[in-house]
C-alpha cells in the first residue's frame, strides 16, 4: 500500500511536468503565429492604403492647359475629356523647357500633320505681261547736216515704208552753195596752194558729201543747188519732223526710221520674280493682237535697274518679225518656267508650315523620341517663294520633322502656356491664356470688368475729352496728305508728310485721357511713334509701305476708340498689299485710291468700314 502511494506521487509529478512544458511550448507557438499574422495583416493593409489624399492628381485639358482641377471631367472651354497633368509631361533630363506637348487625342483634334524636311530643285511658273517694242538697235535718226530749205519732200506721212538709199527729201542750202564755190576757186590753185584746196574739200566732207559728189562738182565746174537726204536703212518712217518749205538748221531732226523686221517683247518682272529669271530661260508667250498664234523665245537681257515708280525690271525676248505682224505697243502675255537662278538642291517647306509676323518666319519642329507629340518653336530665314513652297536659307536641316498643318493651333497652345511663340518669341509669362471670367488654375477668377483683353479694351468706344478728339482729328488730317503721297509713290514726299504726322502725334495731350482710356492710348502710341518714325527716316517706298500697314492697324484702334471731331474716315482694305497678306488704310472718300500700289493698281481694294 505504501509502495502504491509512492508510485502515484512520482507519476503525478511527471504528468504535471509534461503538462507545464506543453503549455509553455503552446504559448510560444501561438504567440509567434499571432505576431506574424498581425504583421502580415498590417503590411496588407498598408499596401492597400489610398495615397490619393497625400499626392492628389491634377487634371487638365490638352488644348487649354490653363484649366486645372482636382477631379476628372470635361473641359469647360472645348468639352474635351480632362487628362492627368502628368500625361502632358515628358520624361528625361534633356527636356527643353520650351517644348509644347500635346496628347495624341489633342493632336488628332487639332489635325496636326507633319513632314520630313527634304531638299529639292525649286521651280516656279512666272506669269509675265508686257508689250512689243521696236529694237532700239534698228532705229535711225536722220538730222540735217547743213542748214537750208526743204525744196522737195518724198515722205508724206508717218508709217511709210522706205528702202535703204531712197530719197526722203531735197534741201536747198545757200551755205553749201557758197562752200562749193570756194572749192571751185581752190581747184585752180590746186598745184600751188594744195592746203587751200584740201581745206575746201574737207569742209564739204564734214557736210556729208562723199568723194563721188565732190568729184562731180569739180568736173562740172558749177555748184549743185539741191542735195538729197537719203535713208540710211530700210524700214518704216515713224517720225517726220519737217514739212515742205520748212527752213532747218544744222542738226535739226528730219526723220526717224525703224526696221521692224526684228522686234522686242519687253516683259515686266517684279522684284520678287527676279531671283527666278536668268538669261537664256525659255518664255512661251502670245500676242493679244495676233490671236491663235503662240511664240517662244529665250531671255536675251534683264534690265539691271528697277523702275522707281512701277517697281519692275524689263525682261527682253527677241522676236523675228519678217512679216511685220507684231506691231509696237501690242500687249503680250508670257509664261516662264524656271528654277531659281544659280541654284542646285535647296531645302523646301510648304507655305502651310510657316507662320509669318512680318519680321520673323516661324516653324514648329517635332521633337523626336517623345511618347506624345512634342514641338519646339524655331525661327528660320527664308529664300524666294517657289509656288506653294518657300526656299529655306537658314534654320532647318534636311531630315528634321516639322508641322505642316495645324501650326497655328500649336502656336496658340504655346502662347497659352507662356512658352516661346510667334507673338512671344522670348517665352515666359506673357499673359496669354488669361481669359475673362476663367479660373486660372489657382482658384482666382479674373472678372471681365477688371481684366479685359487688349483687343476688347482698345476697340470699345469711349467718351473722350472733346479737346483730345480734336487733336486726334488733326493727326488724321495730316495722315491723309501722307496717304496721298503713298498713292503717288513718292518716297520723298511720304517722308516729308510723315514728319508732319509725327509732329502732330506729339502734340496730342495724353493727360486729357483717364484710366483705361489713357493706358489704351499709351499702348497704341508705341506702335504709332515707332512706325511713323521709320517712315519719316526711310527713302525706300517699299519699306515705308510695310510700316504704313503697321501704323494703320494701331491708328484704326485709336479712331475706333476715341472717334473724330466732325469728320468721317473710310477704312479700306486691299488683299494683295503687304506681300499678299492684305493691308488697310484710311481715306476721306469712299473712292478707292490704293496707297500700296499707286498707279499700278490704283482701284484695287474695298471699303470695309466707315468711322464717323
Domain that holds residue 412: 345-432
pLDDT for residue 587: 93
Core vs surface per residue 306-338: b (16+ CB within 10 A) or e: eeeeebbbbbbbebebeeeebeeebebebebeb
Is the domain of 508 the same as that of 587? yes
pLDDT for residue 445: 37
Is the domain of 504 the same as that of 593? yes
More confident residue, 23 or 224: 224
Is 510 part of a structural domain of the chain?
yes
pLDDT for residue 219: 78
More confident residue, 612 or 399: 399
Is the pLDDT assigned to residue 99 strictly greater than 80?
yes
- Closest by alpha carbon to 352, among 362, 360, 337? 362
Is the domain of 352 the same as that of 245? no
pLDDT for residue 584: 93
pLDDT for residue 85: 59
Least confident of 63-67, 421-425, 490-494, 590-594: 63-67
pLDDT for residue 288: 93
- Closest by alpha carbon to 327, among 282, 261, 267? 261
Over residues 379-392, the pLDDT tens digits come to 999 887 777 888 88
Is 447 part of a structural domain of the chain?
no
Q: Which three cell numbers stand for residue 91?
A: 520624361
Is 177 part of a structural domain of the chain?
yes
Which of 205, 233, 258 lies at the terminal end of a domain, its last residue? 258
- Summarize the confidence of residues 579-585 as an average pLDDT: 86
pLDDT for residue 37: 43
Is the domain of 416 the same as that of 546? no
Is 94 part of a structural domain of the chain?
no
Is the pLDDT assigned to residue 417 strictly greater than 80?
no
pLDDT for residue 29: 46
Which of 294, 317, 339 lies at the terminal end of a domain, its last residue? 339
pLDDT for residue 8: 44
Task: Tell me the C-alpha to C-alpha distance, in Å, between residue 605 and each of 9, 573, 579, 592, 595.
Answer: 130, 5, 14, 6, 10
Is 558 part of a structural domain of the chain?
yes
pLDDT for residue 275: 83
Over residues 460-483, the pLDDT tens digits come to 678 888 888 899 999 999 999 999
The strand ranges marked E within 33-166 are 59-60, 68-69, 83-84, 100-101, 113-116, 118-120, 123-134, 139-143, 148-153, 161-162
Is 586 part of a structural domain of the chain?
yes
- β-pair type (226-230, 167-172): antiparallel
- CA 598, distance to chain mean position in Å, is 18
Is the domain of 333 the same as that of 349? no
Most confident of 211-225, 346-360, 450-464, 545-559: 545-559
Is 292 part of a structural domain of the chain?
yes
Residue 332, domain CATH? 2.40.30.170
- Closest by alpha carbon to 255, among 230, 236, 237, 233? 237
More confident residue, 299 or 51: 299
Which of 258, 276, 310 lies at the terminal end of a domain, its last residue? 258
Residue 400, domain CATH? 2.40.420.20
Least confident of 183-187, 476-480, 593-597: 183-187
317 in Cβ contact with 326 (< 8 Å): no
Is the domain of 330 the same as that of 401? no
Is the domain of 593 the same as that of 491? yes
How many domains does the structure of the chain reveal?
6
230 in Cβ contact with 212 (< 8 Å): no
- Summarize the confidence of residues 193-210 as an average pLDDT: 80
Is the pLDDT assigned to residue 36 strictly greater than 70?
no
pLDDT for residue 522: 83
225 in Cβ contact with 94 (< 8 Å): no
- Closest by alpha carbon to 263, among 331, 302, 317, 304? 317
Share of the chain above pLDDT 70, in %: 80
pLDDT for residue 514: 81
Is the domain of 185 the same as that of 285? no
Is the domain of 284 the same as that of 400? no
Is 503 part of a structural domain of the chain?
yes
First to last CA, the chain: 141
Least confident of 117-121, 402-406, 425-429: 425-429
Over residues 112-131, the pLDDT tens digits come to 899 998 887 777 788 999 99
Is the domain of 233 the same as that of 282? no
Is the domain of 413 the same as that of 513? no
Is the domain of 495 the same as that of 590? yes
Amino acid at each position: 500500500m505504501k509502495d502504491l502511494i509512492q508510485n502515484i506521487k512520482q507519476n503525478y509529478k511527471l504528468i504535471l511536468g509534461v503538462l507545464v512544458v506543453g503549455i509553455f511550448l503552446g504559448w510560444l507557438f501561438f504567440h509567434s503565429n499571432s505576431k506574424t499574422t498581425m504583421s502580415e495583416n498590417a503590411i496588407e493593409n498598408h499596401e492597400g492604403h489610398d495615397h490619393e489624399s497625400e499626392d492628389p492628381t491634377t487634371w487638365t485639358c490638352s488644348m487649354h492647359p490653363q484649366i486645372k482641377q482636382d477631379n476628372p471631367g470635361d473641359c469647360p472651354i472645348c468639352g474635351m475629356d480632362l487628362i492627368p497633368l502628368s500625361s502632358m509631361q515628358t520624361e528625361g533630363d534633356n527636356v527643353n523647357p520650351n517644348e509644347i506637348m500635346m496628347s495624341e487625342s489633342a493632336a488628332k483634334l487639332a489635325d496636326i500633320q507633319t513632314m520630313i524636311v527634304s531638299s529639292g530643285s525649286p521651280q516656279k511658273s512666272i506669269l509675265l505681261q508686257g508689250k512689243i517694242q521696236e529694237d532700239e538697235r534698228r532705229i535711225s535718226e536722220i538730222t540735217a547736216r547743213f542748214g537750208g530749205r526743204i525744196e522737195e519732200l518724198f515722205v508724206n506721212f508717218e508709217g511709210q515704208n522706205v528702202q535703204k538709199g531712197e530719197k526722203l527729201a531735197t534741201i536747198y542750202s545757200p551755205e553749201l552753195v557758197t562752200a562749193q564755190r570756194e572749192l571751185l576757186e581752190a581747184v585752180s590753185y590746186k598745184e600751188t596752194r594744195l592746203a587751200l584746196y584740201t581745206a575746201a574739200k574737207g569742209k564739204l566732207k564734214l557736210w556729208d558729201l562723199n568723194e563721188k559728189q565732190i568729184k562731180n562738182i569739180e568736173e562740172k565746174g558749177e555748184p549743185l543747188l539741191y542735195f538729197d537726204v537719203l535713208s540710211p536703212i530700210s524700214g518704216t518712217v515713224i517720225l517726220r519732223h519737217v514739212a515742205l518749205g520748212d527752213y532747218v538748221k544744222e542738226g535739226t531732226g528730219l526723220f526717224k526710221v525703224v526696221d521692224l523686221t526684228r522686234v522686242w517683247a519687253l516683259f515686266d518682272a517684279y522684284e520678287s520674280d527676279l531671283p527666278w529669271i536668268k538669261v537664256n530661260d525659255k518664255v512661251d508667250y502670245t500676242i493679244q493682237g495676233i490671236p491663235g498664234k503662240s511664240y517662244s523665245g529665250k531671255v536675251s537681257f534683264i534690265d539691271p535697274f528697277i523702275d522707281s515708280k512701277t517697281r519692275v525690271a524689263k525682261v527682253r525676248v527677241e522676236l523675228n518679225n519678217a512679216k511685220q505682224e507684231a506691231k509696237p505697243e501690242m500687249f503680250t502675255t508670257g509664261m516662264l518656267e524656271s528654277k531659281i537662278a544659280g541654284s542646285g538642291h535647296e531645302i523646301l517647306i510648304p507655305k502651310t508650315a510657316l507662320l509669318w509676323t512680318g519680321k520673323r518666319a516661324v516653324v514648329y519642329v517635332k521633337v523626336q523620341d517623345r511618347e506624345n507629340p512634342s514641338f519646339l518653336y524655331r525661327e528660320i530665314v527664308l529664300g524666294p517663294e517657289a509656288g506653294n513652297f518657300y526656299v529655306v536659307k537658314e534654320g532647318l536641316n534636311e531630315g528634321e520633322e516639322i508641322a505642316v498643318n495645324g501650326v497655328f493651333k500649336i502656336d496658340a497652345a504655346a502662347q497659352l502656356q507662356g512658352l516661346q511663340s510667334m507673338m512671344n518669341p522670348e517665352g515666359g509669362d506673357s499673359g496669354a491664356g488669361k481669359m475673362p471670367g476663367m479660373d486660372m488654375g489657382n482658384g482666382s477668377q479674373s472678372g471681365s470688368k477688371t481684366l479685359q483683353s487688349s483687343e476688347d479694351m482698345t476697340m470699345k468706344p469711349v467718351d473722350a475729352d472733346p479737346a483730345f478728339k480734336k487733336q486726334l482729328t488733326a493727326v488724321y488730317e495730316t495722315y491723309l496728305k501722307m496717304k496721298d503721297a503713298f498713292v503717288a509713290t513718292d518716297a520723298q514726299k511720304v517722308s516729308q508728310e510723315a514728319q508732319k504726322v509725327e509732329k502732330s502725334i506729339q502734340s496730342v495731350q495724353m493727360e486729357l485721357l483717364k484710366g483705361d482710356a489713357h493706358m489704351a492710348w499709351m499702348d497704341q502710341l508705341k506702335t504709332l511713334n515707332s512706325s511713323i518714325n521709320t517712315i519719316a527716316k526711310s527713302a525706300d517706298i517699299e519699306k515705308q509701305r510695310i510700316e504704313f500697314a503697321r501704323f494703320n492697324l494701331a491708328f484704326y484702334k485709336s479712331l475706333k476708340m476715341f472717334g473724330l471731331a466732325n469728320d468721317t474716315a473710310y477704312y479700306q482694305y486691299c488683299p494683295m498689299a503687304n506681300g499678299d497678306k492684305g493691308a488697310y488704310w484710311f481715306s476721306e472718300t469712299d473712292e478707292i485710291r490704293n496707297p500700296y500700289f499707286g498707279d499700278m493698281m490704283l482701284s484695287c481694294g474695298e471699303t470695309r468700314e466707315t468711322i464717323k
